Amino acid sequence: MLVLAIGDVIGRPGRQAVAKLLPGIIEQYEVDLVVANAENTAGGIGVTSATAQELLNAGVNVLTSGNHIWAEKEIIPHLDGEMPLLRPLNYPPGVPGRGYLVAGQAMVVNVIGRTFMGNFDCPFRTMDRLLGELESKPSVIIVDFHAEATSEKVALGRYLDGRVSAVLGTHTHVGTTDAQLLPRGTAYVTDIGMTGPIDSIIGDDIEAVTRRFLTMIPHRLSVGKGKVLFSAVLIRVDEASGRALSIERVSREVG
């Protein structure tokens, strides 16, 4: 099985890049499953049903998210609907939505980190419970770990090595160079990187972000403009064992 995981999609530029490039990438690599982090698709923060649908129409099968999933209230009713959109599994009980779903021959899980992020349930123990409680689950398990601290991401990757097919970091928008196969067969990368404007500060307008740092006055940021970098990783997984066979970066510029 070939799984393509797309990093945080930023606003309209990111959505347009996915729509333009994804069909060709799916055809080129014969991709079986596409996962994309969608929590920044609506103006750079949050996701709406319309922006989510754009990604689904482009060929994405499962949408993951993170701490910005609640930024657009319009999306909340859809979290318990038919749309294949996840919120982090380790939110407290009773929160709308779900943290995992089965898509074809694979299960996609979304968890959020705690270091510099917030008071969430432990992602390590949450994954233990999920993997222990599900009596019947696919061999292929893809985890989007939406976290800030690189140490926490590496730790979860090592903790789940051999129990899931891939642990893929999102949230920081800066792609890392450590895509690798861990010793027991789990594909890992600390951060996939963003699918958003290159001339920006992690996707947002440079002047606006710089002004915030200089003045410390909060204000809404706008999405950057210009060329877009499409950032993703492609994971080949043995369907019988669930072990990852390879992981490689897929990067494209859109002018």
Q: Which residues are marked as active site?
A: 68
Q: Kindly tell me the number of DSSP H helices and DSSP E strands found in the chain.
A: 5, 12
Nearest to 143 by CA among 121, 113, 118, 175: 113
Q: Which of 99, 28, 18 has its CA nearest to residue 53? A: 18
Taking alpha carbons only, the member of 133, 244, 232, 149 closest to residue 190 is: 149
DSSP state of 40: T
Beta strand 166-170 with 140-146 is parallel
Nearest to 226 by CA among 203, 207, 250: 203
- And the tokens for 234? 């492609």
In degrees, to the nearest 5, what angle opens at C-alpha 100 toward C-alphas 134 and 145?
115
CB 38 within 8 A of CB 65: yes
* Cα torsion through 221, 222, 225, 227, rounded to 10: 60
Please tell me the distance from the alpha carbon of residue 167 to that of residue 144, in angstroms, as a whole number.
6
User: Distance between CA atoms of 90 and 82, rounded to whole angstroms?
Assistant: 21
Distance, in Å, from the CA atom of 136 to the CA atom of 138, rounded to the nearest integer, reads: 7
Specify the 3-state DSSP secondary structure of 26: helix
